[in-house]
Chains A and B, each alone.
Chain A
């Protein structure tokens, strides 16, 4: 087990190094002079030179890379071109809204998706199953921002049940905090629910076809206990895997959801950075999101032994 954990940690580091190389090369292999593009159309030659020096673009590529990588390894993600603040500090200020949104979404989406997936598998080939599968295809097809604006229009503008946009820190009260997060979480979670529900259903169908389920039914185990204790537990590995892979979907969605609902989180930071061509921020957020994604999937891999004691490394 320990050998496996070490091996897995090493491969995580390699993947992160490759992500770093990608993000670094992106700036340098893009067509045209990155300094000129970042400076914008109305920049003076002095401004362009200034940016080139700030980003260290005048040194040979390998030198630049090693210097950049050295900074990253020490947790220094660079400095925003626009506000001159360290990227890490800017991200830190935006952390609470994004973490709140991601965690509430994760909680709602996983609970809902697993319930629906189990239900669909239990009622396989009935109208319940078909309806759920149609809804899940819809969940994949409707873009996040359309769902968001539809929810705002119905529940905030027409019915006035919930606030239109914005974010209230949890320190100012749990109820206002939660009220602001309902619509964004549903928006962000929809595609995620569709993905997890489909895999849950598929995995459950496999398990429900096993002999021991027939035995459980034959000896009169109640439906609920049969589904949850006998079947779902054994269907867990693919479900947890897709929850981990889906985190990438969640991160892409955060950027869009925060824009629709005007939530001052990390996603919004990136979108503001696009308009200002503040590349160090974009770079830094990509590294952070990719790092969290790799970490989550490492945890998922290691959790297999807990879900299924038959798996040994």
Chain B
């Protein structure tokens, strides 16, 4: 089926027209635009911002000014510099968790969907994992190890896996009954080839959409963990740590809380917009309803 479609398409790819793309995919374009700015800022952090760790006790809780664009926090640290460096952690966590949970979830989901014997056991384990609130599971894991970014990434990845497994499994269950899979089995293709070549590609469109939602949720959970004091070590500037260390200064220095808060909301919104936009493109039937 896919071969026929490819042949029918014109052999010369039409030129990319940015305005047409934006007009037809406004949510996707808006999300990508915000994310592109965020990624650029995160990558160029040392060029854009000053030292996020330098404390100046004489400059505590200064409101936004020409020198400190977003003011200073209770230890006299530059909020803008910390915000810029914090973007690195949020984006890194979002990307890593999305990648790891999709890779692991895809593997488990393919096997569970295809082999009936494994299915019952694997799905009960996934049900058990899903019953544990994600933040609590992550808190338990982080509080049992020495805090580090890697532990945080692992602790957020594990509760995300069951959702991916369920999605992949449901696709596999419907695809494995399709005539082209039957034909492959009848043709004597080895099992691994059926799984990887014939079944796996069907999981990609929903998985790409799911990956964006996992990424958004991971960024939120990382910030929440840092906020609760069970996340990234406090010496690393993250948006959650920034809010956490400024909690007592809400009325005196609201910018110390709302600057990182707004940044978080913006980046998660951008990732969600990309997800919604991709879903509209990849699954038009669902798009109308959600």
Q: Do B258 and A149 touch (CB < 8 A)? A: yes
**B250 interfacial contact with A, CB 8 Å:** yes
Across the interface, do A252 and B140 meet the contact criterion of CB distance under 8 Å?
no
Q: Once the chains bind, are B135 and A256 in contact (CB under 8 Å)?
A: yes
In the assembled complex, the Cα of A202 lies from the Cα of B128 at a distance in Å of: 28
Q: How many residues of B contact A (CB 8 A)?
A: 46
- A248 touching B140, Cβ below 8 Å: no
Checking A15, A38, A271 against B228 with a beta-carbon cut-off of 8 angstroms, the contacting residue is A271
With A15-B128, A150-B258 as contacts: A256 and B136 at CB distance below 8 Å: no
**Given A141-B265, A202-B290, A248-B130; A149-B227 close (CB under 8 Å):** no
- Cα A16 to Cα B131 in complex, Å, equals 8
**Residues A193-221 near B (CB distance < 8 A):** 198, 201-202, 205-206
- With an 8 A cutoff between CB atoms, is B170 at the interface? no
Given the contacts A157-B251, A202-B289, A256 and B224 also touching, CB distance less than 8 Å: yes
Q: Interface-forming stretch among B42-50, B74-82, B194-202, B267-275?
A: B267-275
Contact with B along A241-255 (1 / 0, CB 8 A): 000000010011001
Stretch touching chain A among B6-14, B58-66, B106-114, B142-150: B142-150
* A side interface size, CB within 8 A: 58
Instruction: Name B's interface SS.
Output: helix
For residue A263, CB closer than 8 A to chain B, the reply is: no
Q: 28 interchain pairs (CB within 8 A)?
A: A14-B124, A16-B128, A18-B125, A18-B129, A19-B128, A21-B128, A22-B132, A26-B141, A26-B144, A30-B141, A32-B145, A37-B144, A138-B269, A140-B272, A143-B227, A143-B268, A145-B261, A198-B290, A248-B133, A255-B133, A255-B135, A256-B135, A270-B139, A271-B228, A283-B140, A289-B132, A289-B133, A289-B136
Binding site for B on A (CB under 8 A): 11, 14-19, 21-23, 26-27, 30-32, 34, 37-38, 137-138, 140-146, 149-150, 152-153, 157, 198, 201-202, 205-206, 248, 251-252, 255-256, 259, 270-271, 273-275, 277, 279, 282-283, 285-286, 289-290, 293-294
